[in-house]
Amino acid sequence: MTEHLPVLQVVVPLIAAPLCALLRPGRAVWLLAMVTCALCLLIAALLLDRVLAQGVISYAMGGWPAPWGIEYRVDAANAYMLLIVAAIGAVVMAFARTVVEQRIRLPASKQPWFYATYLLCLTGLLGMIVTGDAFNVFVFLEISSLSSYVLISIGRDRRALTAAYQYLIMGTIGATFILIGIGFLYVMTGTLNMADLAARLPAVADTRTVRAAFAFLTIGISLKLALFPLHLWLPNAYAYAPSAVTAFLAATATKVAIYVLLRFFFTIFGAQFSFGTMRLDAILLPLALAGIFSASVVAIFQTNVKRMLAYSSVAQIGYMILGISLVSVTGLTAAISHLFNHALMKGTLFMALGCVSFRIGAVSLDRMAGVGRIMPWTMGAFVIGGLSLIGVPMTAGFVSKWYLILGALERGWWPVALLVLFTSLLAVVYIWRVVETAYFQPAPEGRATTGEAPLALLVPTWTLALANLYFGLDTSLNAGVARRAAEALLGVGP
Amino acid sequence: MQQYSVPRLITKLLLPLILLFALYVQFHGDFGPGGGFQAGVIFAAGFVLYALVYGLDNARRIMPPWLLRVGVSLGVLIYAGVGVAGMLLGGAFLDYGVLDSHDPVHGQHLGILLVELGVGITVASVMISIFYAFAGRGR
């Protein structure tokens, strides 16, 4: 059965989703979804292990060999991504049960649909990563996008509906642009298989169609990954979605879009075309820097902490794009490593906020005053996540910042390195505002004194919080494998 | 719509034809234009027409929401189930050739027929569900 691992990665959640929808509301639905997520994580771990040991794994869908059939192709880069998404999917699923039962505007009879939608979203995200077929990427992108609009819209706040609608419009424009880009490539080469596209594109690279395809793909994917200034859908979507959904999407959805960007620019078009001929780095670099700077500043002035972290996500995406625009092994390692580290830190932070909102019903700064004293464990996890976000040594966040600065210095761009350091200080400011409010301010009048969040929420939150510390010390996975992935993408490694 | 006898009569005449045409598009999809998606939409259109003329309550009596709920999931399960069956019989996922142990071509026919059936069931159920959701607003 092990040769089927690449396809099982997608098929297991795909089959579990309709089964969840068929089940009666209750504990069993969550259990099925949880087992599915755990299986996905197991499959992803096995795949990564096999890829690191034996190299690229290829799977021919339906027995049709590539490039005629759909090929699932797993190398170091996507095995690493699969592990991130599956791990976050499993941890957040453990967190989701309590949230869904008590904190979502959804009648009990419809709760199975939440799990079905969550699993479909997971299917789409994993599918986008595992596939080696450009059109298949689009299909899975739609699966994950449509289900994520639904997941966002069920937030308790009525504004979640408008946020989801806004995201739907922007996301659909992005997906359409991606489809147009893929269509143009297909017109020019007659193939959709990524490896085949990469082989055939150089012959026709100097045509207006291929350049237009490149432009459409760049803008479409940038919309999905919320690159500044195309990020406007993100803050509202993250702020009003249920906390479990925010934690899941913030840690996975934009990351997968960045992976798709890497795949298209490095594997299909090739670094030479994307960055040598089209000079994409000249566009990405200023946008990344502007995004990091402006989003960090805006984050400082937010009163809703969830919204603050959403803006911080835009800034963090900027760091990843900055790493990509360095076009070096170190820069790419920083970007890919930050995909992992950012998933850990934002997962921790959003889940800690989920615990807070579970107990006190709000995550605005004034309502959170004094929370640190009544919920020490929750805020402890928040502080760890915050330190990692800032990039303090011994946390996961430090690893990627380190490589990023190293990469910038390698290119001799010391102002960029300084700006990375400076914007880390901005992160200190907005994280400190929360810490100061939570620990040093008196509780507001009229807030019921409640205790610590239940264990069902704390255990997943702390799992990720401890992972932040662990991967700050043992960097063999988040930097070692990231480096191998970067080398694979640049085509310089073994 | 109680007093409009002509639309009611025409609907009664057309309905079997629409549903039959849907089934034709569904099962002839292997050989001609058509397939599960188109067939599902045509099938659902029949129910939409019925609901417009005879009212939502009557439509819900014929096609109850619980059945749609099953249909939505069942189609996906048929699709994925065919794929997994191919895997269990020693082929790759969605490899229809192994479904028939004697003749791979026959297996391919069987596989695509079942997969398209799954698509048809899900599409029809989803289309009718969407119609119910919109038509049932504000009740």
pLDDT one-digit tens code per residue, B35-81: 889 999 999 999 999 999 988 888 999 999 899 989 999 999 999 99
User: How is chain A split into domains, by residue range?
Assistant: 288-494
Q: Which of A61, A111, A153 to substitute to test the interface with B, most B CBs within 10 Å?
A: A61
The CA distance from A228 to A210, in Å, is 25
In this structure, what token pair is assigned to residue B137?
Answer: 């607003």
More confident of the two residues A74 and B90: A74
Q: Which helix (H) or strand (E) holds A55?
A: none
Please tell me if residue A202 touches chain B, with a CB cutoff of 8 Å: no
Q: Which residues of A touch B72 (CB under 8 A)?
A: 18, 21
Query: Tokens standing for B4?
Result: 């409009």
* ipTM > 0.85 for the complex: yes
State the Rg of chain A over Cα: 21
Tell me the C-alpha to C-alpha distance, in Å, between residue A63 and each of A60, A308, A411, B86, B106: 5, 48, 46, 10, 16
Kindly identify which residue of chain B lies nearest to residue A110, measuring between CA atoms: B69
**In the 3-class helix/strand/coil scheme, how is A437-455 assigned residue by residue?**
HHHHCCCCCCCCCCCCCCH
Size of interface A-B (CB pairs under 8 A): 50
Q: In this prediction, what percent of chain B has a pLDDT beyond 90?
A: 50
At residue B1 the predicted structure's pLDDT band, cuts being 50, 70 and 90, is low
Residue A230: phi, psi to the nearest 5?
A: -100, 25
pLDDT along chain A (494 residues), means of 10: 84 92 86 92 92 88 84 89 92 88 75 91 94 92 93 85 91 94 92 89 88 93 89 89 90 92 90 84 90 92 91 92 89 91 92 87 82 86 91 88 90 88 90 89 73 85 90 84 87 61
Whether residue A11 and residue B80 make contact (CB cut-off 8 A), yes or no, is yes
Chain B residue at shortest CA distance from A9: B93
pLDDT at residue number B40: 94
**CA–CA distance, A194 with A196 (Å, rounded to integer):** 5
| pLDDT of res. A449 | 65
A-chain residues near B69 (CB < 8 A): 21-22
How much is the pLDDT for A493? 52
- DSSP character string of B98-136: GGSSS-HHHHHHHHHHHHHHHHHHHHHHHHHHHHHHHHT
Shortest CA distance to A241 belongs to which of A357, A116, A86? Answer: A357
Does the beta-carbon distance from B76 to A61 stay under 8 Å?
no
Task: Supply φ then ψ for residue A74, to 5 degrees.
Answer: -115, 120
To 10 degrees, the CA torsion angle through A432, A433, A435, A438? 170
Q: Is the preceding omega at residue A112 within 30 degrees of 0, hence cis?
A: no
Q: Are B93 and B87 in contact (CB under 8 A)?
A: yes
**Helix (H, G, I), strand (E, B), or coil: what is residue A468?**
helix
A139 close contact with B: CB closer than 8 A? no
Residue B2's pLDDT is 63
A39 in B contact zone (CB under 8 Å) = no
By CA distance, what is B86's nearest residue in A? Answer: A62
Q: Which residues pair with A57 in a beta bridge?
A: A74
Instruction: Tell me how close the Cα of B27 comes to any Cα of chain A, in angstroms.
Output: 21
Cis? peptide before A415, omega within 30° of 0:
no
Asked whether A233 and A173 are in contact (CB, 8 A), the reply is no
Query: CB distance A62–B95 less than 8 Å?
Result: yes
Q: In this structure, what are the phi and psi dihedrals at residue A67, rounded to the nearest 5 degrees?
A: -90, 10
